[in-house]
């Protein structure tokens, strides 16, 4: 009888040690998804303007410019001043001075003296968008949301499944005589007629 009790008590610590490890693992498995979700959510808030800036930069290289390609191989990115997207885009362009030039603006008049290839604006005002088209007829106008497309913009950033994605209006792009490459079209949404109205 004593021998049996001795064996039982000698088996108990390893059993409890194993049980303790299993509980710790279960708790970690429950905590990690919550912490990673909160990190992902906070990163998403930080990364929206960064992702837009990267897209803006790539748009120039995913466009067939034809006769409107820059002779010096430097694309001019005209972006509305004092926006997070603009600051991020400027920092990105500063790392690649041979490929691009950053031109901040406060009004349409600021960019009339420049040749812009990509114009980023956070305005959905149809009059302002038309002024851009008149001043820079062979530039790609990029903005935010479906109202930007409805107002005459060419590419708008929208949220799809909580991710930034380009929405492209081929109809609004047509007068520029530019065409977008399949690599860009394949990762974008194409605006329907309803979205243009």
User: What is the distance between the alpha carbons of residues 43 and 35, in angstroms, rounded to a whole number?
Assistant: 12
H/E segment holding residue 64 = strand 63-64
Domains of the chain in start order, with CATH, are 44-190 (3.40.50)
Interacting residues of 157 by C-beta distance below 8 A, sequence separation 6+: 52, 55, 142, 143, 144, 145, 164, 165, 166, 167
**3-class state of residue 60 by DSSP:** helix
In order along its 197 residues, the chain shows pLDDT tens digits of: 444 444 444 445 554 455 455 444 444 344 333 333 233 333 444 589 999 999 999 999 999 999 999 999 999 999 999 999 999 999 999 999 999 999 999 999 998 888 999 999 999 999 999 999 999 999 999 999 999 999 999 999 999 998 999 999 999 999 999 999 999 999 999 998 655 55
């Amino acid at each position: 009888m004593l021998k049996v009790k001795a064996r039982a008590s000698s088996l108990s610590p390893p059993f409890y040690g194993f049980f303790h490890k299993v509980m710790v693992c279960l708790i970690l498995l429950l905590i990690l998804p919550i912490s990673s979700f909160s990190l992902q959510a906070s990163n998403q808030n930080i990364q929206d303007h960064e992702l837009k800036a990267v897209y803006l930069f790539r748009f120039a290289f995913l466009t067939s410019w034809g006769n409107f390609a820059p002779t010096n191989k430097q694309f001019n990115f005209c972006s509305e001043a004092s926006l997070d997207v603009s600051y991020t885009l400027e920092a990105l362009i500063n790392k690649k001075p041979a490929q691009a030039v950053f031109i901040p603006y406060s009004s349409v008049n600021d960019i009339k003296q420049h040749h812009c290839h990509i114009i980023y604006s956070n305005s959905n005002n149809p009059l302002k968008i038309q002024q851009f088209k008149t001043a820079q007829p062979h530039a790609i106008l990029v903005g935010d949301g479906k109202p930007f497309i409805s107002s005459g913009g060419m590419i708008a950033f929208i949220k799809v499944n909580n991710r930034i994605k380009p929405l492209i209006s081929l109809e609004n792009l047509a007068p520029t005589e530019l065409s977008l490459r399949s690599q860009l079209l394949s990762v974008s949404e194409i605006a329907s007629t309803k979205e243009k109205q």
